[in-house]
A = this chain, B = another copy of it.
Amino acid sequence: MSSSSPSRTHSWASFDGEGSGAPSPAPMSSGGSGGSSSSLVSSDASLTPFIKDRVIDGKAVAKTIQGEIASEVSRLKDRYGRVPGLAVVIVGARKDSQTYVRMKKKACADVGIASFEKCLPDTVSQEELLKFVRDFNSDKSVHGILVQLPLPKHIDESAVLAEISIEKDVDGFHPLNIGRLCMKGREPLFIPCTPFGCMQLLERNNIKIKGANAVVVGRSNIVGLPAAMLLLKRDASVTIVHSATQDMASIVRRADIVIAAAGKTELIKKEWLKPGCVVIDVGTNGVEDKTKKTGYRLVGDVDFAGAKQVAAAVTPVPGGVGPMTIAMLLQNTLEGGKRDIEGTGSSSSSSSQPGWKKRAISLARTVAAAAVGAWLAGGRGK
């Protein structure tokens, strides 16, 4: 999993082999050409514990993961008298930011992770804000730092995000982290939460990724790009489509696995889907709905009702990827905490110290490869 020398040669053992030929769970409805139609989803229900009636229950997966996190946190507390901590910095009084932060706080409490927050007025200067980030960087009780976005216009968002110590960057958005995520033989310190959650939905239902044709719709730094790279590392053949793509429907129709992260209401229709495919819908789009108290409801990037008729498995919105994102944030905080508390990595974290680069790289090489590898392997087998 972690040979680190770049190589230009591969072994090309069986690139034209065929899939298993197991029957699709839905009849072929369109002339989808190319690609094998092996069943990615096992017919053995014990292997698909979180799929019921073709719907992947993200809430249930998240709950299972949170249970695992809670027992790990409890073990750390018993053994070392310390728990992982997550710090959130909020600027301004945006109602949605505050709701989100409150949810995160509750989620931390539920698994025993300590939570910290710093609420700042939207008149805060960039220098002051950077100081608070640095304080959390050097705080030994804090293992993950989130800065709630968006920030007010007078503040350079990238400069603030870049200030977060890579060892506490539980969002995983740092370019060094993304570089390690993308590169063969390297492992990031943290996998960005939403794509990490998408992979867990596949892996914990034993969906076959290796050799599958995966199409990722959208190429954002925080979802589409890292999701594509994670699928590639798990040996899928990966296509990334986006706003400039020609005839997107026919490309999606060849996909065994679709990850929809376009941010566009019900972009992906039933007719775009290959029978028997697996659909992970990252979209959370608000549409007007007068029957709701709030006046709107959330829908995904996929026509869920249509997809359910064609796909072998599909995530709902809400209740699919959403709950997973927060679970993986807790998971990342736990990983950061374990590296510090169990002394499996450097606990120092100020980015302004000499040798930062070397420490971060050697840490990533030795610790994260093992930790993340074990986590993924563990998830796969469950």
Q: Does A291 contact B (CB under 8 A)?
A: no
Find the B residue at minimum CB distance from A5.
B157
What chain B residues lie within 8 Å of A173 (beta carbons)?
6
Instruction: Give A324 Cβ to nearest chain B Cβ, in Å.
Output: 15
With contacts A176-B176, A357-B357, A365-B158 known, is A219 near B246, CB below 8 A?
no
Q: Does A1 contact B (CB under 8 A)?
A: no
**In whole angstroms, how far apart are the Cα atoms of A261 and B182 in the complex?**
17
Number of copies: 2
A15, A219, A238, most chain B CB atoms within 10 A: A15
Q: Does A60 contact B (CB under 8 A)?
A: no
Instruction: Give A265 Cβ to nearest chain B Cβ, in Å.
Output: 10
What chain B residues lie within 8 Å of A238 (beta carbons)?
239-240
Instruction: Give A130 Cβ to nearest chain B Cβ, in Å.
Output: 10
Say which residue of B179, B211, B219 sits within 8 Å of A175 (CB atoms): B179
What chain B residues lie within 8 Å of A12 (beta carbons)?
243, 262, 264, 267
Q: Is the CB of A220 within 8 A of B6?
A: yes
**In whole angstroms, how far apart are the Cα atoms of A229 and B219 in the complex?**
10
Stretch of A29-37, A69-77, A94-102, A306-314 on the interface side: A29-37
Q: Is the CB of B36 within 8 A of A33?
A: no
Instruction: Give A373 Cβ to nearest chain B Cβ, in Å.
Output: 17
Q: Does A315 contact B (CB under 8 A)?
A: no
Find the B residue at minimum CB distance from A249.
B16
Q: Does A183 contact B (CB under 8 A)?
A: yes
Q: Is the CB of A219 within 8 A of B243?
A: no
Within 8 A of B (CB), among A12-45: 12-19, 33-36
Say which residue of B13, B229, B247, B351 sits within 8 Å of A36 (CB atoms): B247
With contacts A12-B243, A184-B220, A247-B16 known, is A158 near B4, CB below 8 A?
yes
Say which residue of B36, B185, B246, B362 sits within 8 Å of A35 (CB atoms): B246
Find the B residue at minimum CB distance from A248.
B15
Within 8 A of B (CB), among A57-89: none
Q: Does A180 contact B (CB under 8 A)?
A: yes
Some 13 contacts from A to B, beta carbons below 8 A apart, are A4-B157, A8-B220, A15-B243, A15-B246, A36-B247, A158-B365, A177-B179, A178-B179, A178-B182, A182-B182, A237-B241, A237-B245, A352-B355
